[in-house]
Every structure is written in C-alpha cells, then in structure tokens.
Chain A
Amino acid sequence: EPEVTQTPSHQVTQMGQEVILRCVPISNHLYFYWYRQILGQKVEFLVSFYNNEISEKSEIFDDQFSVERPDGSNFTLKIRSTKLEDSAMYFCASSDWGKETQYFGPGTRLLVL
C-alpha cells in the first residue's frame, strides 16, 4: 500500500538555524499539505500546495516558512531561522484529485534548542 514518507524522523537544531523537512507524498497525488502538532496540543494546518504553488496558508505560516516541490517526488518545508516555539511534530500529507481524504506521513519531530 502506498504511503507518505518523511525524513528525518527527528531533528535537533539550534535557535536561528535553518532546517529543511522532507516529504515524499503518494506518487499519483496532486495536493500536498504540512501540519504541525506542538506537544500536547492539537494538529494545526500550516499550508497547502497544488500545481506548484501555495493554495492556502495559515497565519502560522509566516515569512520564516517556505515550501517547495523541487522535483517530481519530494515536497519540502523550510524554516529559515528557527525559534524555540517551532519545536513540534511536523506532518506532511497528500491527497489525490478528489482531495477529500488526506494521507499523513509519520512526522518529523523538530526540537529547537
């Protein structure tokens, strides 16, 4: 069964450093998403991406964040200058043409020190 994969599973970084989180969505999917879950809190939408551009972003997704689909398989989330409050689990998700159902990856746990 096809699945969404994410790397790395864990990342520790220093405040102010740049991080790139990587995702490989399900191959025939067209819509891609990033969500985050701060420890003990609910899952929050960050951004959606379709046809090589952002289709919607939340107020969390400020200028420090960017997304890219550098090739036909990867989907990345970059945080330019990490803050302590960026520590969270980051989930990638994808959906197909019907786009109602999103399939999630296992997540990347980011810890900013």
Chain B
Amino acid sequence: AQSVTQLDSQVPVFEEAPVELRCNYSSSVSVYLFWYVQYPNQGLQLLLKYLSGSTLVKGINGFEAEFNKSQTSFHLRKPSVHISDTAEYFCAVTPYGGATNKLIFGTGTLLAVQP
C-alpha cells in the first residue's frame, strides 16, 4: 500500500519570496509522483509529474519539484511566488505498473501568499 504525507497544512509566505512545499511518500513498489493545484472553488489541475528520467521536473507557473528516492520525497519549489499562487497543493502517487493507476493523495498544503 502507498501513503503520502504533507506535513505542512498551511504555508504563509510573502509575495516574491521563495517557497518549498514538502511531500514524503511510503511505498513498497516504485511510484509515479504528481503535484496538483486546486484554486479556490475550482477542480484539480496538474502542476507537474515525475514518471522517470531526470529527478528535477519543471511544471506550469514556474514550479519545479525534485524526486529524491533515498529520502522518498518529492518537494515542490518556486523561487518567487505571486499572489495568484494562493491555492491548495496536493501531492499524489500511483504505483508503477499498477492495474488502474489510482491516485493516493496527501492531505494538501494551503499556500497563502501575502502582499
């Protein structure tokens, strides 16, 4: 079975400051990793994903994430945030080669960007 831990339920940050949202996972098999963003009153939008290859992946809106297999982490970073980045961010995994690729989500981190 897989599980995802997002230790920070809320991350307040000032505009133009850097931010890191942490994600750790547990799995007995290899996994694919994803970050989704949920803006207020909207659905889930794919931000970026790691399937294979380079462990540093770049996504939309200037976000990037680094897969660290030894630490079972997939932390999300942005060097300079904007007010418009205020949203809930969900880390998710799915087992590699699984029959259905169901996503297992973390509890989410609310990124609150302040002016």
Contact = CB atoms under 8 A, between A and B. Distances in A.
Interface of A: 31, 33, 35, 41-45, 48, 50, 55-56, 58, 91, 93, 95, 99-107
Contacts of A58: 102
B78 to A, nearest CB: 21
A85 to B, nearest CB: 19
Question: B interface, how many residues as a size bin?
Answer: 20 to 34
A35 B44 CA distance: 11
Nearest to B4: A42
Contacts, number: 59
A50 B99 CA distance: 10
Interface stretch (B13-21, B45-53, B54-62, B69-77): B45-53
Contact of B107 (A31, A42, A45, A107): A42
A106 B42 contact: yes
Main secondary structure of the interface of A (DSSP, over half): strand
Interface in B75-115: 90, 92, 94, 99-108
A90 to B, nearest CB: 11
A47 to B, nearest CB: 9
B105 A43 contact: yes
A39 to B, nearest CB: 12
Nearest to B45: A104
B99 A103 contact: no
Given A43-B103, A91-B43, 9 more contacts: A41-B107, A42-B106, A43-B92, A43-B105, A45-B103, A48-B101, A55-B100, A56-B102, A103-B46
Nearest to A103: B46
A31 B42 contact: no
A12 B99 CA distance: 35
Nearest to B43: A106
Nearest to B32: A100
